[in-house]
Amino acid sequence: MRQTDKSPEAPDTFNVTGDSVTFPRGFRASGVRCGIKRSGKLDLAIIASDEPATVAGVLTTNQVRAACVDINRQRIAQGTAQAIVVNSGNANAFTGSQGHKDAVELCTLTESALNLPTHSALGASTGIIGELLPMQNVRAGIQEAAAQLSEDGGLKAAEAIMTTDLVMKHQSVEVAVSAGTVRIGAIAKGSGMIEPNMATMFCFLTTDASIGADALQALLKTAVDHSFNSLTVDGDTSTNDMVLMLANGASGVAIGDEDLGRFGSALTWLCQDMAKAIARDGEGATKLVEVRVAGAVSSEDARRAAKTIANSPLVKTALFGEDPNWGRVVAAAGRSGAKVSQDRLDLAVNGEALVLNGEPVRLADETRRELLDTDTVTIDLNLNLGSGQATVWTCDFSYDYIKINAEYHT
């Protein structure tokens, strides 16, 4: 299989540094094992700011949701926070009143261990739904994680939030703005149960820029709309999906109105990089797939068509089998609810035209065999009906996806 460049091209307006949430100044992190996971792997992380930080967040729209989602929504509304505590291996979702008490205690214990103000910690849990957290283990884990916080702990935190992920997901950028240079860092997790619709994926972001809560929330929502809300692995929206961001101002550089575009572009790129990493690491995935729809009557129609193609089991299994069965792609677009005129559409896969003006293009056998022999696939569908466009990232479906999810609980 041909290997392709796994890093999206970054604009010239910022530098990509490959670090994590501790790259921005004034942040520390840690990851420990406290016995939530049967595997004995790291399962609890803390990200902490040295000073109170502006906070923003985008949370799952699933009506069945974990207690941490509701708690975070209330605390984000306050405008400031100072820490995020995350456990993996147990979602603490649909666990009733006890689960809510445990979610609150998770935050309270973190605040106490770090000597932080009340209600200044946010919480997140991921893993199996419907089981209570082993709080005795969690209490000990929080104390240990608090003691191990360091400026080099970002990768430990990235490892500790993983569930079925095969690889850690982390990245950071440095952005020059009018008053100086600021940094943004990220860690993420996600592999299955992925179609955030935000509003089992997490992304935690930090920045040492000084920025108001309203501006940060607006920029984060835009970034999420163009990244995680354009991501699907299997069409399932988790009970716990969230993106949280802390801005502590430790750089001493404020983001003025003239800097919002540049800062927002870097933030969006960073979120897109994390979204693509999640799609590439989809459970059992062998290919990162980018579906690009253009020429739709509206951006909503383009998104509708792209999401339907990306979620089609028939499309995803054909990609795994490296079968250029393009009929499945146009059929998915046709049933998406988007306006489609079959005699006007164009379709290309990995730059190779398969349909032009509604007419199939006959490929040589060798070209057909090699077309999908790559770890990254682009599907370009032009409906030629308007100016609407959208991009969605997904992955293929392999035998391992079934195996992983059939045996997830056991």
Domains and CATH numbers, the chain: 14-280 (3.60.70.12), 288-406 (3.10.20.340)
Closest CA to 362 of 326, 330, 315: 326
pLDDT tens per residue, range 104-125: 999 999 999 999 999 999 999 9
pLDDT in the model for residue 196:
59
pLDDT in the model for residue 404:
65
pLDDT in the model for residue 197:
59
Question: Mind telling me the catalytic residues?
Answer: 200
Calculate the alpha carbon distances from 209 to 74, 136, 224, 260 in Å: 23, 37, 19, 11
pLDDT in the model for residue 398:
78
pLDDT in the model for residue 402:
73
Work out the number of other CB atoms within 10 angstroms of the CB of residue 205: 28
> Which residues in the chain show pLDDT less than 50?
1-8, 198-199, 410
pLDDT in the model for residue 6:
41
pLDDT in the model for residue 5:
40
pLDDT in the model for residue 152:
97
pTM: 0.85
Distant-in-sequence, close-in-space partners of 296: CB < 8 Å, separation ≥ 6: 302, 305, 338, 339, 383, 385, 386, 387, 388, 389, 390
